[in-house]
Each structure stands twice: as C-alpha cells, then as structure tokens.
Amino acid sequence: MGASVHAVAAPRPARAELDPFSIDALNARAFGEAGAASEGAPAGWRARAARRRASIWQEIHRELRRHAGDERLPFDLRGALRRAAHRAHERSEAAARRAGPPPLARRWLRDAPRVDMPDDLERRMRETAAAAGVDPDGPIVTLEIRSAVENFFEAIDDLRARGYQAVRIGRADAGPLRRPGVVDLAPLPRSAAADVYILLRSRFLVCEGGAVQRAAYLTHTPTLLLGAPDPFSGYPVRRDGLYTLAAVVDLDTGRTLDPAALLTETFFRNARNCGYRSHTPAEIRAAVAELEEGLRQGWLETDSQARFRSRVAAASAALSHLPHVARWGADEGFIGDGRLARFQADRT
C-alpha cells in the first residue's frame, strides 16, 4: 500500500514516463490498447489522476478492512477501522466513476511479448543487485510482501533447501525481512528498474500486490498472488500463474465467507462490511510448493481448479454490470489460464 505526497512547484510527469522499466509502468501497460488510448486522450491527465486516486483509496480500503478483521485488536479500534474503511471505499468508487478506467486486457496479456532491458541498463542493474548481495546467475525467487513477514518463513526455508535465493522487492511497510537465504531490497534506496531486473532474472514471483502480478505478465515470470480480495481482479492470466483468495470475514456476523459467496452480487454490494484475514504459514508454504512443483514437473490442474475457473468466467458474465467486475473480469469470455491454489480449490 502506501502513497507519498510531495510538495512541488510544477506538475510532475507520469511515473511511467520517468521510469519506463518500473513496476508501475509495466502495470499501466497491462491494460493494453484501451489503457493506452485513454492515457493519450486530450483529458487523459484527469483520467490518470482519478485512476491513481481510486487505486490509492482502494489499497487503503483493503488494508483497513484487513485490520478490522483482526480479532486481536480492541473492539472499539476495529469499529473505527471499519468506519474508516467505509469512507475509503466511497472515495475509491467516486474516483473510479470519474475515471472510467479501462478493463484489464487479459487476452493481450496472455500472449504479450516479453519486456527486455537495454544492455546498458541491464548491466547497471546487475551491478546494483550484486552489490546488495544478490547472485544474478543463481536461481532467484522474488518476494513482494505486504503482510506479516514471519508468515513466509516456512516457505522461505523450503526454497532455501531447494537451492533458491529469495530476493524481496517492493516496499518495506511490513518491516524488515531477516532470514537466511534472503536478500531484502525493500528497505534499500534503489532505482525503480532494479525491481524489474530482479523479476526478469527470477524463476518465479510470490507477491501480495496486483500491480506486481501484472508487471510479471510482461516479464514472463511465473507468479503466485497471495490474498486476492475477490475472485476476479487477481485471477492469473497466464498458465504459469496461481493465486489464492484472502479469507473474507463478514464484519457484521464474524462469519468467514466461502469462496463461492465471493462470486455473487451480494458480496460486491456488501464489500464495505467485510474484512480480510492473512494466510497462515502452512497455507503460504503449500501454495509456494505447488508453484515450484509446476515449474519442475509441468503445469497440471485438478478437476476442482478447472471447475473454479469455469465458475469465475460464468460469474464474470453474469455480473458484468458491476463496475469492479467490468474492469477486472473476463475479456470476451477469457478469464485466464491460471488456477486457484489447490488447497483452496479443493474446498470449494
């Protein structure tokens, strides 16, 4: 999450123009020709600003809901977090209505060409990575963590035992990641291109943010997205992708919603009354192991995973009148070639 506010004397160019090899720039490209046309429209700067505000408030809303569902916090604090989440949700939806955001270009992303860095930039990013302790020629797994870092320790230990070096990118809001076999770039000052370089060198990515997942489509990096807030926005486009759904809690009843309930209009109408729970270490470990197994043995899916994909595609068509589903759902019937992680799909 996280957005910084800068006092400047003149308008600042869009980040994609400043850092074409940044996570943000690649994420913007994930919306394909529709997104590019919108960016180039005469009033495109207004749409860009509105989409940026909607994205920021959506991230704030998600984080507040996640904490509001934490039963370890005092009841009054959870109530305050819930009310703040409601306000963030309203602001996000208002900004999204003004922006009219383009839908995710899923069909284009499935076959999009791989992004490669110019030789001189790649050489400089290689030197930056090596200076931080990364072995650019070894097997790398990229981590982008937004929740409790200790929940990843078991999965990291498994990866280390298999000979991988884990490299953390993104922001360090969740705190430092101190574990043998890990290079934590998140707290370090670095070029935005350094994170993209790590993605390009990685065997696969484990992330908790949708922007990083979408950037990885363009670096052709196999990806596991953990804790997607709904079945549509994080559904993996490429065959080498997995995702998990966050445990969604109805804050009125305390009930954890079944994944099937997330495919209904009722869920989206009442989303402001829901909170999230983070995955357990065992769940993260199982999902990471499944992705790594796919790399070694080939990409297979169970009947339950295939059924869930069909249900998401069908729900996308049925709920296309909802703005969120219209943006993140199926692209002319195509939702994605990836899968829901087995440990969740087998329970649906």
Confidence of residue 58 (pLDDT cuts 50, 70, 90): confident
Cα–Cα dist 137/201, whole Å:
8
Taking only the tens place, the pLDDT of each residue in 251-285 is 888 889 988 899 999 999 888 888 888 899 999 99
What are the angstrom distances between the C-alpha of 219 and each of 116, 156, 266?
A: 8, 22, 36
pLDDT at 20: 81
Taking only the tens place, the pLDDT of each residue in 311-323 is 999 999 999 989 8
Contact 277, 247 (CB under 8 A): yes
3 state SS of 141: strand
Task: Report residue 204: phi and psi, to 5°.
Answer: -165, 170
The letter for the amino acid at 3 is: A
pLDDT at 68: 86
pLDDT over threshold 80, residue 83: yes
Cα–Cα dist 201/184, whole Å:
16
Sequence spans of domains, the chain: 32-99, 114-345
Contact 244, 283 (CB under 8 A): yes
Could you identify the residue written with the tokens 């990083």? 212
pLDDT over threshold 60, residue 10: no
Could you identify the residue written with the tokens 């998600």? 62
CATH class of 114-345: alpha beta
* Closest alpha carbon to 1 in 194, 214, 179, 171: 171
pLDDT over threshold 80, residue 336: yes
Please, what is the average pLDDT of the chain? 86
pLDDT at 41: 35
Taking only the tens place, the pLDDT of each residue in 94-145 is 777 665 567 899 999 999 999 999 999 999 999 999 999 999 999 999 999 9
Taking only the tens place, the pLDDT of each residue in 136-188 is 999 999 999 999 999 999 999 999 999 999 999 999 999 999 999 999 999 99
Question: What percent of the chain lies above the pLDDT cut of 90?
Answer: 62
**β-bridge partners, 139:** none
Question: What percent of the chain lies above the pLDDT cut of 70?
Answer: 88
- The Cβ-side half-sphere exposure at 277, using a 13 Å CA radius, reads 18
For 116, residues 6+ apart whose C-beta sits below 8 A from its C-beta are 122, 200
pLDDT over threshold 80, residue 220: yes
pLDDT at 31: 81
* Sign of the dihedral defined by the CA atoms of residues 152, 57, 324, 199, in that order: negative
Structure tokens at 301: 């899916």
pLDDT at 12: 36
* Closest alpha carbon to 185 in 205, 170, 164, 204: 170
